[in-house]
Amino acid sequence: MTSFRRPSLLEEKISARWAARIILAAGICGYIAFYTFWTLRNYANFYMFGFDFGIHDQAAWLMSKGVWNPFVTISGSNYFGDHLYWIMYVVVPFYWLFHSGKVLLVFQSAALGLAALPAFLVARDKLRSEWLACGIAWAYLLNPYIGWANVDQFHPDVFEVVLVFLALFFILRRRWWWFLAVTVLLLLVKEDVALLVFGIGMWVAVLFDRRWGLITAALSAVWFFLNFRVLLPVLGGTGSLGAYVTMHANRIPFGGFTGFVRTVFTKPWRIVATAFARDRWAYYLQVLAPTAFLPFLSPSTLLAVILPLAANALATFHYQQSLHYHYGTLVVPGLIVAAIFGIAHGSVKLRRVMVCLLVVCAALGLWLWGPVPDSRQDAVWVSADPAFSKSVHEAIKLIPDDAVVSVEYHLLTQLDHRVEIYEFPNPWHRLNWSNSKDDSAQRIARVQYVLLTDFLDTTSETTFEQVEARGNFVAIYHQEGVLLLKRARAGS
Q: Is the predicted pLDDT of residue 3 greater than 50, yes or no?
A: no
pLDDT score, position 207: 96
Which of 114-128, 238-252, 380-394, 420-434 shows the lowest per-residue confidence on average (mean pLDDT)? 238-252
Distance in angstroms (rounded) separating the CA atoms of residues 310 and 331: 9
CA-to-CA separations, 105 to 131, 244, 273, in angstroms, rounded: 31, 30, 39
- Find the distance separating the first CA and the last CA of the chain, reported in whole Å: 94
Taking only the tens place, the pLDDT of each residue in 398-425 is 999 999 999 999 999 999 999 999 999 9
pLDDT score, position 379: 77
Q: Is the predicted pLDDT of residue 247 greater than 80, yes or no?
A: no
Q: What is the mean pLDDT of residues 336-353?
A: 97
Q: Is the predicted pLDDT of residue 465 greater than 80, yes or no?
A: yes
Alpha carbon 348 to its chain centroid, in Å, reads: 36
On whether the CB atoms of residues 145 and 332 are closer than 8 A, the answer is yes
Question: ω into residue 7 within 30 of 0, thus cis?
Answer: no
The mean pLDDT of the chain is: 92
Q: How does residue 5 score in pLDDT terms, banded at 50, 70 and 90?
A: very low
Q: How does residue 155 score in pLDDT terms, banded at 50, 70 and 90?
A: very high
Distance in angstroms (rounded) separating the CA atoms of residues 432 and 418: 19
Q: Is the predicted pLDDT of residue 1 greater than 60, yes or no?
A: no
Q: How does residue 121 score in pLDDT terms, banded at 50, 70 and 90?
A: very high
Distance in angstroms (rounded) separating the CA atoms of residues 82 and 191: 10
Taking only the tens place, the pLDDT of each residue in 67-95 is 999 999 999 999 998 899 999 999 999 99
Virtual CA dihedral for 436, 437, 442, 443, nearest 10 degrees? -30
pLDDT score, position 24: 98
Q: Is the predicted pLDDT of residue 219 greater than 90, yes or no?
A: yes
> Would you kindly state where each structural domain of the chain is located, as residue ranges?
14-369, 386-487
Q: How does residue 433 score in pLDDT terms, banded at 50, 70 and 90?
A: confident
Q: What is the mean pLDDT of residues 376-383?
A: 82
pLDDT score, position 368: 96
Q: How does residue 274 score in pLDDT terms, banded at 50, 70 and 90?
A: very high
